[in-house]
Amino acid sequence: MEIVFLNRLSKRNEQGCEDFAQVWIGQHEGRWSAGWSTHHVPDESIDDLWYEGSLWQELLHVYRHELALKMAEGYRPLIHGVFHEQKGSSGRGQTLQKLYCYSDLFPRDEVYEQLTMWRRQKAATERKAPYLIATNRLLRLISVYLPHTEEELLELPGMGQGKVSQYGTELLTITKQNDRTTPFPLNWVTETLEEEVFLSWLYKQKENQYRQELNKFSLTRAIIEGISEGLSLEHIGIKTGLHRKEVIEAVEHLDRDGMDMKKLILKELEHVSEEEQTAICSAYAELGDTLLKPIMLKVYGEEKATEAGLDQIYERLRLVRIRFRHQEVPDRHVG
């Protein structure tokens, strides 16, 4: 095997001594591998194979996730850039990350519960999704730093002038009921947080991010494999654990990314007459392909669509829309 990347890492153990490890990526006859070697005593190591396969992108997702776990444990690299990604945030971006870090490490749960109860009531009154009023992260910041003025509210990331004008008075009514032990401005946070504590928190955030990316990649790969194997939407759903509607949404996304969906669409539409498909395409040409309801009403009518089953009709419309958009591509480039 040819080693194409190798880096040494270390961390201090409970006895104050350094533990050493190596992370590596190798390649042999078109197959990639990545792993971790822990060195407990000279000339003795324990190897952990993280990945072995033919897909570089899959290796990268697994490698980043596993490495973030190790760095959250306290391992630090001899040479930076171990994640093989664009340079991380610095300056203002890192300052904001430290505000988030402190709020995670020193929560005020009782205040946070007050704020979430206020948000639920406000969302019900305004008929909005709760996150549109304030995200969990923003409420966490407010609960920990306890601003007492509108100017202090504006110091918190995610709290713009619009939200302050709309909700500031109500939020301050809650925060002023609670004693605070830390001042504004918040520049003390950077000085208070120990660098190693912050780095471990930061790598934990990376681990969560990379786990989500790995799950998404694995799911996408399973869908692509299912399509290439000639599976139906139903069987792809069984293979991936997704609801049928979620599979169609994934298929639409993959189509936009340039994946060939013809095989699957032909399979799913084989019981739909050419006359019906032509009527749907004609409706798209006349009304546009953004909204599905006008197409449904024009082709089927409300009563007929309800009788046939709205879920089935909308699924059919979405699949035909993929075909329609590919048929329309040459016309869009004319002239």
Sign of CA dihedral 307, 308, 309, 315: negative
Q: Which range scores top for mean pLDDT: 72-86, 162-176, 245-259, 315-329?
A: 162-176
pLDDT of residue 328: 57
pLDDT of residue 41: 58
Name the band, by pLDDT with cuts 50, 70 and 90, for residue 19: confident
Mean pLDDT on 21-45 = 82
Q: What proportions of the chain, in percent to the nearest 5, are helix, strand and coil? A: 60, 15, 25
Percentage of the residues of the chain whose pLDDT score is greater than 90: 46
pTM for the predicted model, two decimal places: 0.66
Tokens, residue 102: 């402190």
Tell me the pLDDT tens digit for each residue of 200-251: 899 899 898 888 888 888 888 888 888 888 899 999 999 889 898 899 998 9
Measured in whole angstroms, the distance separating CA 54 from the mean position of its chain's CA atoms is: 25
Mutual angle of helices 244-256 and 195-228, in 10-degree steps? 90
Q: Which range scores top for mean pLDDT: 108-122, 238-252, 307-321?
A: 108-122
The C-alpha atoms of residue 333 and residue 326 are separated, in whole angstroms, by 12
Mean pLDDT for the chain overall: 87
Would the pLDDT of 162 be above 70? Answer: yes
- Is 317 in contact with 296 (CB distance < 8 Å)? yes
pLDDT of residue 299: 92
Number of H helices, E strands in the chain: 16, 5
Q: What angle do CA 136, 166, 170 make, to 5 degrees?
A: 70
Tell me the pLDDT tens digit for each residue of 43-101: 666 788 998 888 888 888 899 899 988 988 888 888 777 776 555 555 568 889 999 99
